[in-house]
């Protein structure tokens, strides 16, 4: 079992009776009482401290399915699916094929990394210290925080947009954003148990909403003939899909570290994979179909004007009147399923980025995450589609490199043996790699990615001919270079 530093308050007889000392004792005692009160209410205080084997007792594998399913069974997945036709000009068949095959590839990475939680008891970015090092992991941690905050911002904007679309002008996007963010804060503040309960129930209203939408508006969903898709269009859309799914990899074990060390890895992988595929693929394909049909239905086209996904859904549900508006509100609130789980991981990454924060209860950092997300969402509220397209593609680059490095470390240097990790060293810089090998491999990969990019603000010579193949090259280049740089690091330092 990993030993952890004690943060017990000093006894009054152990300190002087100066006003400063008395204040320090009182603050510590109040903090301790507050933490105990929160824990009695079921609030999780544990942050990145490893979960000892005797506390890894969860065996309800359905939770794993529902956390990934509910995080993605929402209108953000729907909006990502609309990008195929709306931005890249793909027909329904091509959009759905890209969605299916690239999600199979990309969902396998977070699904596999989720199997590490029960075996190690470590959060995902803590596990990354065994390849990136104690200090080196700060860079991927920053990128992960940017990615998670970005997803929270997109979800908050989409939730605010959707709530405003059914308010007849009585509710602004800004108020809607705050409502969705605050609901997410409440769930993430409570922690693991409440989060897992929330994820198991919040998906059902979304299912009802989409079934009703298909029932009353499905007759408009057609697949008109489209121009043959180009390689550039397919690969660029694939990059967006990869950026949507592969970025769950740095969160993989955050939701599985309370499971028994004897939990079958194949079962955790299977439940995770089913959670991803059954939600993302179905909803993204529906989004693509609705985006293609929107120009042919006047009410849909009006709702979708300005890339307003919430307006499109409101138009689809308008035939059922007030009930349709209620369903749209539930669709907006459901986005809290993604934001709350992401807030949860954000709090953990704060503690890895700034190790001194490990002494703070995890739930306090949820407040900090909310304080960051709300103002940024308000600023970016009216540039949703442009933000979504550019943001998702960029995320795929760094997440691919991250996955390549941690997988090569595990399979090549640890030989797929979890006993090869020194779990006592998780928080000791001198007993971990420097991280130079991992960062060096990523730096080489970045050099290859740049000419293979196809973004609004930059198109490289390779990307200009092939479309965006940055995330594919990022993975393979990092996977090829890291064994070389890591071998050198081991010879020089031995760790």
CATH, residue 341: 1.10.4160.10
Q: How many domains does the chain have?
A: 1
Long-range contacts of 453-460 (CB under 8 A, 24+ apart): 454/232, 454/236, 454/239, 455/390, 455/393, 455/394, 456/386, 456/389, 456/390, 457/390
Q: Is residue 485 part of a domain?
A: no
Distance CA 478, CA 401 (A): 6
Q: Is residue 199 part of a domain?
A: yes
Residue pLDDT tens, the chain, 495 long: 444 443 333 333 333 334 343 344 344 444 566 666 666 666 777 778 899 999 899 989 999 999 999 999 998 899 999 999 988 889 999 999 999 999 999 999 999 999 999 999 999 999 999 999 999 999 999 999 988 988 888 888 888 888 888 877 677 878 888 999 999 988 888 888 889 999 999 999 999 999 999 999 888 888 777 788 888 889 989 988 998 999 999 999 999 999 999 999 999 999 999 999 999 999 999 999 999 999 888 999 888 887 678 888 889 999 999 999 999 999 999 999 999 999 999 988 999 998 888 877 787 888 888 888 888 888 766 666 566 666 666 778 999 999 999 999 999 999 999 999 999 999 999 999 999 999 999 999 999 999 998 877 778 899 888 888 888 999 999 999 999 999 999 999 888
The pLDDT assigned to 26 comes to: 40
Contact 144, 365 (CB under 8 A): no
Distance CA 436, CA 442 (A): 10
The pLDDT assigned to 393 comes to: 65
Matching residue, tokens 């669709």 = 331
Q: Is residue 324 part of a domain?
A: yes
Instruction: Give the pair of three-digit tokens for residue 14.
Output: 């152990």
The pLDDT assigned to 377 comes to: 84
Q: What is the pTM of this model?
A: 0.87
What is the residue range of 219's domain?
55-383
The pLDDT assigned to 372 comes to: 85
Residue 459, strand partner residues: 454
Q: Is residue 7 part of a domain?
A: no
Q: Nearest to residue 355, comparing CAs of 27, 72, 48? A: 48
Q: Is residue 197 part of a domain?
A: yes
Distance CA 62, CA 68 (A): 10
Q: Is residue 465 part of a domain?
A: no
Distance CA 207, CA 204 (A): 5
Q: Is residue 447 part of a domain?
A: no
| Burial per residue of 332-353, b for 16 or more beta-carbon CB atoms within 10 angstroms, e otherwise | bbbbbbbbbbbbbbbbbbbbbb
**Measuring CA to CA, how many Å separate 467 from each of 95, 348, 397?**
15, 36, 14
Q: Is residue 35 part of a domain?
A: no
Matching residue, tokens 């002087």 = 16
């Amino acid at each position: 079992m990993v030993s952890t530093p004690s943060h017990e308050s000093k006894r009054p007889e152990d300190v002087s009776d100066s006003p400063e000392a008395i204040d320090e004792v009182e603050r510590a005692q109040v903090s301790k009482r507050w933490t105990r009160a929160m824990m009695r209410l079921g609030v999780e205080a544990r942050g990145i401290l490893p979960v000892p084997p005797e506390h890894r007792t969860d065996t309800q594998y359905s939770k794993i399915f529902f956390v990934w399913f509910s995080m993605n069974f929402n209108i953000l997945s729907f909006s990502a699916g609309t990008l195929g036709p709306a931005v890249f000009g793909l027909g329904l068949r091509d959009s759905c094929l890209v969605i299916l095959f690239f999600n199979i590839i990309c969902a396998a990475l977070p699904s596999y990394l989720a199997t590490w939680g029960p075996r190690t008891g470590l959060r995902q970015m803590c596990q990354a210290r065994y390849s990136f090092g104690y200090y080196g992991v700060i860079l991927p941690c920053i990128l992960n925080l940017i990615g998670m905050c970005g997803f929270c911002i997109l979800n908050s904007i989409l939730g605010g947009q959707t709530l405003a679309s059914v308010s007849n002008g009585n509710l602004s996007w800004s108020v809607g954003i705050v409502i969705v963010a605050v609901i997410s804060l409440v769930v993430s503040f409570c922690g693991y148990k409440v989060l897992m309960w929330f994820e198991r129930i919040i998906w059902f209203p979304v299912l009802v909403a989409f079934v009703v939408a298909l029932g009353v508006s499905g007759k408009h969903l057609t697949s008109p003939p489209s121009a043959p898709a180009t390689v550039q269009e397919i690969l660029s859309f694939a990059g967006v899909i990869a950026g949507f799914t592969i970025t769950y990899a740095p969160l993989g074990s955050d939701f599985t570290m309370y499971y028994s060390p004897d939990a079958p890895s194949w079962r955790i992988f299977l439940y995770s994979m089913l959670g991803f595929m059954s939600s993302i693929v179905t909803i993204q394909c529906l989004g693509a179909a609705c985006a293609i049909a929107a120009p042919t239905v006047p009410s849909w086209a009006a709702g979708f004007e300005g890339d307003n996904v919430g307006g499109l859904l409101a138009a689809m549900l308008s035939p059922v009147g007030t009930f349709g508006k209620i369903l749209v509100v539930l669709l907006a609130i459901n986005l809290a399923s993604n934001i709350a789980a992401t807030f949860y991981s954000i709090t953990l990454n704060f503690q890895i980025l700034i190790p001194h924060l490990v002494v703070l209860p995890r739930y306090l950092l949820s407040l900090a995450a909310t304080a960051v997300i709300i103002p940024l969402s308000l600023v970016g509220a009216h540039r949703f589609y442009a933000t979504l397209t550019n943001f998702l593609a960029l995320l795929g680059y760094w997440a691919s490199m991250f996955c390549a490095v941690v997988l090569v470390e595990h399979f090549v240097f640890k030989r797929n043996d979890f006993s090869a990790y020194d779990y006592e060293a998780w928080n000791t810089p001198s007993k971990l790699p420097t991280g130079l090998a991992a960062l060096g491999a990523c730096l080489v990969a970045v050099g290859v990615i740049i000419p293979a990019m196809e973004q609004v603000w930059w198109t490289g010579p390779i990307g200009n001919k092939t479309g965006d193949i940055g995330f594919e090259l990022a993975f393979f280049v990092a996977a090829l270079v890291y064994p070389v740089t890591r071998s050198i690091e081991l010879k020089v330092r031995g760790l």
